[in-house]
């Protein structure tokens, strides 16, 4: 935490100094701007202090947001934007003759520096958490199924630093010391719901997660809150609502009861229009920037076997409508006819067909697939309105025919060139995990999450993880 405070301070001071130097040249900081009674040395010092205080007031360094999710970035952006908005209002009300260019430089430079420093620290924290440092030890109050689900979920997200170290099972009648096996890892049972304080001492946990809310009841939860009050322990109550997060969940007090309201997912209206505009702008810019790459790839494909450059594969899009997804051809020209001969060697999950050493893939195609270059022409599908830049994985017709009612929700939004599946393992994902990620995106998508997924996609593609 102290290192994060120092890095924020350094970024803020440097941003203000850069703004002063660029706006007023190399003049002495104690000089006042000509034709103005404002002393910009004092203004700069005040801005540094206010900026630093605002970052603290908005809890941008809270341990609950550092190192995971986009909440940390949102708080940094929100606090900085509100500070400069407040300064603008004060200048307007009191008619202060502040140099607008000075503030116009300080804001973007400081904000970019803060976001970059947070990103760098996040990488440091993620590496340490992967080695077992900076872990949040969790004691779960709930049944065996809840513990297994939570432990597996935390294991998939080891960079977020949560680890289940113990469990208190409500109405447990066995002997303390029994274990619950989770994929070969044994988690100790410390007793029932009345053994939480003792379990914290024995397990060393610093966070209690309650999943058995119905069993404990309101009085049991209230008693638990008071038991944990003198301890340096966080209490978290799991909602039981899977894969719904972000702005769709809101706590509202009703008749003295703290009720969690889950808003309906938004697939229409202004949000959808905004996403479409973003898609058009991003895809157009990508196609222009990648035009030289397209020319080189097309030439290499032609030189290898003189077959067609592009391959159109049927996929199912928005509302179950089929469309032709455009890709660079990475296989031999008669690849579709060879599928039945290779079904016995299928390594894909569920109805997916995948082979790590597919004999149909050409030499150029193998390189393209490793770095997902064969997917780039899908920006043409984005322009045509058949796909989105970010969305669920585009499914085959035979996959859709195997969908149950819940999985069909993937078809409520356009499939994406990239998505959560692309940045979470790609071809290495199981069928259930792939479906879960797609449904999670459909339930919670936002423009902020889309931008973050695009950034993670670049990293995943360069690392060529799970690509074949």
Residue 258: what pLDDT?
67
| Cβ–Cβ under 8 Å, residues 114 and 80 | yes
Is 261 a domain residue?
no
Please tell me whether residues 105 and 158 are part of one structural domain: no
The C-alpha atoms of residue 317 and residue 326 are separated, in whole angstroms, by 13
Please tell me whether residues 124 and 143 are part of one structural domain: no
Position 113 confidence tier, pLDDT thresholds 50, 70, 90:
very high
Is 414 a domain residue?
yes
Domain that holds residue 72: 1-27+36-130
Q: Could you report the per-residue pLDDT of 53-75, keeping only the tens digit for each?
A: 999 999 888 877 777 667 788 88
Please tell me whether residues 224 and 337 are part of one structural domain: no
User: Hunting for tokens 């203000």 — which residue is that?
Assistant: 16
Q: Could you report the per-residue pLDDT of 405-438, keeping only the tens digit for each?
A: 778 888 888 999 998 877 876 556 667 777 778 8
Is 365 a domain residue?
yes
The C-alpha atoms of residue 442 and residue 412 are separated, in whole angstroms, by 7
Residue 189: what pLDDT?
92
Is 264 a domain residue?
no
Give the domain CATH number at 176: 3.40.50
- Of 84, 99, 130, which closes a domain? 130
DSSP states of 115-177: HHHHHHHHHHHHHHHHTT-S-EEEEEES-HHHHHHHHHHHHHTGGG-EEEEEEE-TT--S-TT
Is 105 a domain residue?
yes
Position 28 confidence tier, pLDDT thresholds 50, 70, 90:
very low
Q: Could you report the per-residue pLDDT of 305-329, keeping only the tens digit for each?
A: 888 999 998 999 988 899 999 999 9
Please tell me whether residues 94 and 189 are part of one structural domain: no
Please tell me whether residues 331 and 406 are part of one structural domain: yes
Rounded mean pLDDT of 443-468? 76
Please tell me whether residues 380 and 319 are part of one structural domain: yes
3-state secondary structure of 313: strand
| Cβ–Cβ under 8 Å, residues 125 and 27 | no
Rounded mean pLDDT of 171-181? 84
Please tell me whether residues 304 and 210 are part of one structural domain: no
Position 36 confidence tier, pLDDT thresholds 50, 70, 90:
very low
Is 57 a domain residue?
yes
Please tell me whether residues 84 and 151 are part of one structural domain: no
Give φ, ψ of 123 to 5 degrees: -65, -40
Please tell me whether residues 359 and 322 are part of one structural domain: yes
Q: Report the number of distinct structural domains present in the chain.
A: 3
Please tell me whether residues 279 and 217 are part of one structural domain: no
Range with the poorest average pLDDT among 153-157, 194-198, 240-244: 240-244
Q: Which two tokens stand for residue 208?
A: 């209690």
Please tell me whether residues 291 and 407 are part of one structural domain: yes
- Of 95, 115, 130, which closes a domain? 130
DSSP code at position 395: P
Q: Could you report the per-residue pLDDT of 225-278, keeping only the tens digit for each?
A: 888 888 888 888 877 655 565 556 666 776 666 677 666 666 666 677 888 999
Q: Spell out the residues 6+ positions from residue 209 whose beta carbon is closer than 8 angstroms to its own.
A: 138, 139, 140, 141, 142, 150, 236, 237, 238
Quote the pTM value: 0.61
Is 191 a domain residue?
yes
Residue 33: what pLDDT?
46
pLDDT exceeds cutoff 70 at 27 = no
The mean of the pLDDT values for the chain is: 81
The C-alpha atoms of residue 276 and residue 284 are separated, in whole angstroms, by 12
Share of the chain above pLDDT 70, in %: 82
Please tell me whether residues 118 and 145 are part of one structural domain: no
- Of 130, 150, 165, which closes a domain? 130
Rounded mean pLDDT of 182-204? 89
Residue 324: what pLDDT?
94
Is 257 a domain residue?
no
């Amino acid at each position: 935490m102290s290192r994060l405070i120092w890095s924020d301070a350094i970024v803020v001071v440097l941003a203000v100094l850069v703004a002063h130097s660029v706006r007023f040249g190399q003049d002495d900081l104690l000089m006042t701007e000509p034709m103005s009674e404002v002393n910009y040395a004092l203004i700069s010092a005040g801005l540094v202090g206010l900026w630093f205080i605002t970052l603290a007031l908005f809890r941008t360094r809270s341990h609950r947001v550092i190192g995971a999710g986009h909440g940390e970035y949102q708080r940094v952006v929100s606090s900085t934007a509100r500070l400069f908005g407040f300064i603008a209002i004060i200048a307007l009300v009191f008619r202060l003759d502040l140099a607008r260019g000075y503030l116009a430089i300080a804001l973007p430079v400081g904000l970019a520096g803060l976001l970059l420093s947070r990103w760098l620290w996040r990488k440091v924290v993620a590496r340490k958490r992967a080695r077992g440092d900076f872990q949040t030890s969790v004691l779960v109050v709930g049944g065996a199924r809840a513990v297994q689900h939570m432990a597996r979920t935390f294991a998939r997200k080891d960079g977020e630093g949560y680890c289940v170290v113990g469990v208190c099972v409500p109405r447990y009648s066995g002997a303390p010391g029994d274990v619950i096996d989770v994929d070969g890892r044994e988690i100790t049972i410390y007793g029932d719901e009345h053994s939480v304080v003792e379990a914290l001492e024995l397990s060393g946990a610093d966070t209690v997660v309650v999943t058995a809310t119905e069993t404990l009841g309101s009085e049991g939860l209230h008693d638990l809150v008071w038991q944990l009050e003198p301890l340096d322990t966080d209490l978290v109550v799991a909602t039981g609502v899977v894969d719904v997060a972000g702005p769709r969940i809101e706590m509202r007090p009703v008749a003295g009861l703290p009720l969690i309201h889950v808003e309906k997912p938004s697939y229409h209206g202004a949000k959808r229009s905004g996403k479409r505009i973003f898609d058009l702008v991003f895809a157009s810019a990508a196609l222009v920037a990648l035009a030289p790459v397209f020319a080189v790839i097309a030439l290499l494909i032609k030189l290898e076997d003189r077959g067609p450059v592009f391959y159109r594969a049927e996929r199912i899009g928005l509302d179950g409508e089929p469309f032709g997804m455009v890709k660079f051809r990475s296989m031999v020209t008669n690849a579709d006819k060879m599928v039945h001969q290779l079904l016995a060697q299928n390594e894909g999950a569920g109805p997916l067909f995948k082979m790590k050493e597919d004999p149909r893939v050409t030499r150029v195609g193998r390189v393209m697939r490793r770095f997902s270059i064969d997917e780039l022409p899908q920006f043409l599908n984005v322009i045509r309105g058949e796909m989105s830049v970010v969305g669920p994985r585009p499914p085959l017709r035979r996959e859709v025919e195997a969908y149950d009612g819940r999985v069909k929700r993937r078809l409520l939004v356009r499939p994406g060139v990239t998505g959560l599946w692309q940045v979470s393992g790609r071809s290495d994902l199981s069928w259930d995990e792939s479906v879960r990620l797609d449904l999670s995106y459909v339930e919670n998508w936002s423009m902020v999450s889309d931008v973050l997924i695009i950034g993670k996609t670049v990293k995943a593609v360069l690392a060529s993880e799970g690509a074949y």
